[in-house]
Structure 1
Amino acid sequence: MNDAIRLRAATPADEPFLIRLRKLTMTAHLERAGEPVDDESHRLRARSNLHIAQIVCCNGEDIGLIKLVRSETGWHLQQLQILPAYQGRGIGTEVIRAMLAEARKARVTVSLNVLHGNPAVHLYERLGFQVTGQTSIELNMTCRP
C-alpha cells in the first residue's frame, strides 16, 4: 500500500469515529433498503466484530474502516467505509487491492455483500468481483484467486 495509507487495529475508543463514519457513509443506502438507521442500530453495527476491525488512516488521520472475516475456506469483506471527503481518491481501491493480493497468496476466495443502489458495486466489479446471487436488499459478490 501507499506509504500515506496505513491500517491499524480498531479499539473500543474508536467507537465515536466508527458511528460517525457509518452514519455518513451508510445512512442513505440503508434508508433506501428499508433497514434501520437509528443511533442504536448504527452503534451495534459499529461494535460488531470490532476485534477484526481495522481503521484506515491517511497521513495519520482516521478516514475509514475495513472489517475482513478470515477463515480457511474463504474471506468475507464485511465492511469497507471511507469518509466521503476521502472517497474518489483511490484509497478504497488501494485497500481492496492489497487485501486481494493477500487473498491470492492464501489462495482463498473473497466474498462481500453490497446494498442495491450503492455505487461501490462499480468499484468491486472493476476489481474483479462478480455477482453470485442477490436478496431483496443486496448483491452477493465473489472474487476468486
Structure 2
Amino acid sequence: MKQCPDYVLRPARREDFAFAAAIYIDSMRPLMQRLARWNEEERRAALRRSFRAADTSVIILDGRDIGWIQVTERDTDYNLAQLQLLDDYCGLGIGTRLIGALLDKASREEKTVSLSVVRNNRAIALYERLGFRIVDPGATPILDMVWGEG
C-alpha cells in the first residue's frame, strides 16, 4: 500500500458549503440511483440542514481543497457525519488516517464513534476493517454503524 500523502486540515467556513455540497452530491448520486432512491432536491436540503461549519474541517493536499470531514461530539459518542473526498484522492489512505485519528481520540476519551452509510457504499469495507459493526443489517437504504461498543 502506498504511503498516505501529507494533507492538512483547516476549519471550515460557512462559504465552504458549496464545495462540500458539490462533493457530497457527486458521491451520493450514483449510490442512491443504484437503489432507485435519488432525489437531488431532498439530498441538497438534507445537507443544508445538517452541515455545521463548526464541526467541519476541509482537507487540503498540495494547496488544493480535496475533501471535508464533519464530526459531531456528543456526551458519549463522536458522530462521523460526513467524510467526503474528491474521487482522485480516494484509496490513498487519507480516509483511513482521518478515521484512525478519530478512533484514537474516542478510545482515549472512552467514547464510541457512530456513522451512517448508504448500504452499497464501498466505504463499508473500510469501516469494517477499522472495527465498526453494522447495527441493523436489514436497514435500507442507510446502515448505521458503531465502533467501540460491545
**TM-score calculated relative to the size of structure 2:** 0.85
Number of the residue aligned with 1:76 = 79
Of 120, 137, 140, 1:136 maps to: 140
Q: Tell me how far apart the structure 2 counterparts of residues 78 and 68 of structure 1 sit (CA, whole Å).
A: 6
Of 94, 113, 116, 1:113 maps to: 116
CA contact (8 A) 2:17 2:51 kept: no
Percent identity of paired positions between Structure 1 and Structure 2? 33
Amino acid at match of 1:140: D
Amino acid at match of 1:144: G
Is 1:17 the equivalent of 2:19?
yes
Residues 20-59 of structure 1: pairs in structure 2 closer than 5 A: 20-33=22-35, 34-38=37-41, 41-42=43-44, 44-46=46-48, 48-50=50-52, 51-59=54-62
Query: How far 1:78 moved relative to its partner?
Result: 0.8
CA contact (8 A) 2:7 2:61 kept: yes
CA contact (8 A) 2:55 2:71 kept: yes
- Unmatched tracts of structure 1, length 5 or more: none
Which secondary structure state, in structure 1, belongs to the residue aligned with residue 40 of structure 2?
Answer: coil
RMSD: 2.0
Amino acid at match of 1:49: F
Which of structure 1's runs of 4+ aligned residues deviate more than 6 A?
none
Query: How far 1:17 moved relative to its partner?
Result: 1.1
Query: How far 1:26 moved relative to its partner?
Result: 1.5
Which secondary structure state, in structure 2, belongs to the residue aligned with residue 133 of structure 1?
Answer: coil
Of 7, 10, 24, 1:8 maps to: 10
CA contact (8 A) 2:25 2:43 kept: no
Q: Tell me how far apart the structure 1 counterparts of residues 23 and 11 of structure 2 sit (CA, whole Å).
A: 16
Number of residue equivalences: 143
Q: Tell me how far apart the structure 1 counterparts of residues 107 and 5 of structure 2 sit (CA, whole Å).
A: 22
